[in-house]
Structure 1
């Protein structure tokens, strides 16, 4: 458009330089209107994107937890909650539309003034004998063309600004700085015997105190340990720190003498097999989920892992909505089409197939019934042979056979030893064991203790 404006000014000025005056004044006001409104429209687009995200989030949250909503009879409450978000979105949308309408109206008025001013000036100059009739036709025609082009430019700039605002909101959401990054020159972890050592570690989730304070723990190669303690004692935090989901605030963790902060995160996690109580599966086939830790696994290896996890039989009976069966069936988002126990068995099969030298079991069998758990426990015990194992369980009977039990309380180790040793001491572990094996009658000292 800039080239066209220059050409129009030259052509109009060729007849009389005074014919360029309306065009020059129009350009100043046109640029001012765009400068005044377009940035605000972009900012409003960002706010509208945020409001739309809030509305979508509330609707998805309500549908995801529809059972809870129905159980508590809060359907009307959730509708009102969603309506509030909708009203806010409509309000933000209204502000943006008013700004766009105002800008469009001003541009239309400016264009009308430009055409009539140019026509009036050209006629006046013609009456004064300064220009010909042809100059009037050329000047007015050029201004009509510029008027149409200016509307097109305005809408393109407005759309660009809206898209930039929406994109900026999305980028702020997904472009968060990584809190845990590989150190410069980080090398791959080399695992041999798989010795794990916590040396005076400190971690408080950024708070002044609590969670873990100056904890040291050495796990010899091939040793199976069980972590026990109250809820919030720091058991899962110890596992998350080993996986380097967080950076330590003090001390260090070493695997075979290598500080995990000096190795790449991918190589670290490739060396650790993990099964958690909150099992999440990918929205892919059963086969893809099982071989996720070992993509090159053969069909025979996948089926063998599923059999060891007591999952093969129910997998053969799976059928998804597209008619795919068995190992080809999709499990749904986060494995929602499967029961909790089925998801956990597939997760166990995935870890069995991965066969990492270090094994972490965080409530690995919590969603299983007693019969299936007993069958899988034997398979897990076989898998643990020759591996360094860290197991967490609320049911103490599932980890009583470990080589060593570590009782954590308040971020420190309060007891350590075998199952028999800890029972003989009569401490926290003995009380927890007594509660689980002897019923629910507890003393005042036991209240609030949760394994």
Structure 2
């Protein structure tokens, strides 16, 4: 064996060994399943030995009693073999499904824990294909491929040794004639391993293309680009088809040798057996038993190629799954967390810096030394031109991203010193791009209130108050009212309706600090005014950081912070900044022009 093949085998075993923590609880049943399969194989190998006795004894002597007992013995061996096969399936199917469940649960939990920066880099289709396709493949391999690969390899080894029982020449010829199978297997591994990884990655890319097309179907239809999307999809599907055809050719090649070489071995051994029989070296009963044994070995030998390809598929699936498990998680709970029992809501940015991981080292930080303090109960509006860093700043209090320099504090405590669950109870968010889930209106709005008993009077009160603040009474006109299941990502609702439900969700959470990233951008002017009036009552007791893209939003604020080139260059009331800061006047003028254009569009519509 070459060093490359040894390294490859060790790498495969090392990769699959990473499944051991998931497999260990069910390992006894998997071993019992493998033992049952091995028992079935040994029973099958025993049948040629009985045949030898039948031919040389009862058949040769013509004793009908012994012939009947011999036939019954073969029948019993066959029934016992079938029973062991049934036992093997009974032992392994439930454990394999359990392992699949545990890996899938762990994978999903890992996705939830990994930071937003991870999800920025990874395509959702790649994650989906790993979650569904790759993990299901591991279940099938554990229940079928792994057990049969071990058992069939042992069966070939035991059967080959038994072949020497009848004549060493026949055994040697059979083994030598079959030996090229191992070389063919080595070549197959090198090529098939590359192809299966490429295939699974391409399947992930294809899943991403489907997901993007479905989510963006309105855009594609509106711009008449369905044909363009189809052509792009067809190119990706064609690439996957070519890879699958290459895999099929590779499997076909190994199957050619797996079928051909046993037939060649049969032919060579048959010729040698006839010569040995003529020389008196072997009798007819031994010759019949030899070929019966070789026939029993034919399926295990033919299955090796398929099982080996299955092994490589499983190894690739394991690699792809653990690529996600191995992703570093930089946003974690502290080793010695601090607790804030009754948060006052003072939020402070102290020389806060931030830059994305893929930013060039020569570029300055996107947030370049932010110093800003929000007093308890204060509403602070954040204004600035596009690209000034407003949205990025709003992700820091809840640790969707961590600062790369300086710190963010809540009531004087660094947010990195709080448990994530506690921090995100104290800091609530509503985004401009409102995301809803395929759940009821009630479940979407009360998403952040796990402390409320579902269906309780308190939960109902909080729900209705939040809907009132967000001016989302439209939900009572939906087919099932509050129990209406919202479609995927809320696409069955208008943009304004989605934003109002997302705002209601943030209000219902009752956090000490509320971060609003322009959550009213899709509302018409009249509805926005009603929401702002209702929000004033809510924000009277809540510290709020509000990204303002409309001048009307600024009126909600006690003070305004002007963000320019990643720095807070001015803080004051709206009137103070209008009077003293030229850049602020320019920003507000830009916002007023945009709002005027929106009003014109609303009038036309």
Query: What are the superposed Cα offsets for residues 182-231 of structure 1, whole Å, 9 maximum, x if unpaired?
Result: 33333445452121121111112233313111221122222211111111
Q: What residue number does 2:424 align with?
A: 269
Work out whether 1:303 is the aligned partner of 2:475.
no
Distance in 2 between residues matched to 1:10 and 1:426, nearest whole Å:
93
What pairs with 1:370-409 in structure 2 (closer than 5 Å)? 370-409=525-564
CA contact (8 A) 1:210 1:410 kept: no
Moved more, 301-310 or 272-281: 301-310
Contact 1:46 1:168 in 2 (8 A): no
Partner Cα separation in structure 2 for residue 371 and residue 5 of structure 1: 80
In 1, the alpha carbon distance for the partners of 2:212 and 2:502 equals 25
Is structure 2 residue 358 aligned with structure 1 residue 217? no
1:54 aligns with 2:215: no
CA distance in 2, matches of 1:70, 1:335: 19
Contact 1:224 1:404 in 2 (8 A): yes
Contact 2:383 2:587 in 1 (8 A): no
Structure 2 gap ranges (5+): 1-151, 453-457, 597-605
Structure 1 residue 10: Cα displacement: 4.5
Correspondence 1:116-127 to 2 at 5 A:
116-127=267-278
CA distance in structure 2 between the partners assigned to 1:298 and 1:67 by the alignment:
35
The match for 2:263 is 112
Partner of 1:183: 334
- Aligned residue in 2 for 1:229: 384
Q: TM-score, normalised by structure 1?
A: 0.89
Provide structure 1 residue ranges, at least 5 long, that are not aligned to the other structure.
320-324, 442-451
Aligned partners of 1:12 and 1:138 also within 8 Å: no
| Residues 382-412 of structure 1: CA deviation (Å, up to 9, x unaligned) | 1111221111111022123411111010011
Asked if 1 retains the 8 angstrom alpha-carbon contact of 2:153 and 2:300, the reply is no
1:205 aligns with 2:356: yes
1:317 correspondence with 2:472: no
Does the 8 A contact of 1:407 with 1:429 survive in 2?
Answer: yes
2:255 match: secondary structure: helix
TM-score normalized by structure 2? 0.68
The separation in 2 between residues aligned to 1:375 and 1:253, in whole angstroms, is 33
How many residues end up aligned between the 2 structures?
A: 435
- Give the conservation status (yes or no) of the 8 Å contact 1:357–1:388: yes
Cα offset, 1:146, TM superposition: 0.6
Considering fraction of residues, name the structure with more helix.
2
CA deviation after TM superposition for structure 1 residue 175, in Å: 5.6
Judge which range, 296-305 or 232-241, deviates more.
296-305
Q: 1:339 to 1:437 in 2, by over 3 A?
A: closer
Q: Tell me how far apart the structure 2 counterparts of residues 8 and 89 of structure 1 sit (CA, whole Å).
A: 40
Q: Provide the alpha-carbon RMSD of the alignment.
A: 2.3
- Supply the distance in 2 between the matched residues of 1:43 and 1:327 (Cα, whole angstroms): 51
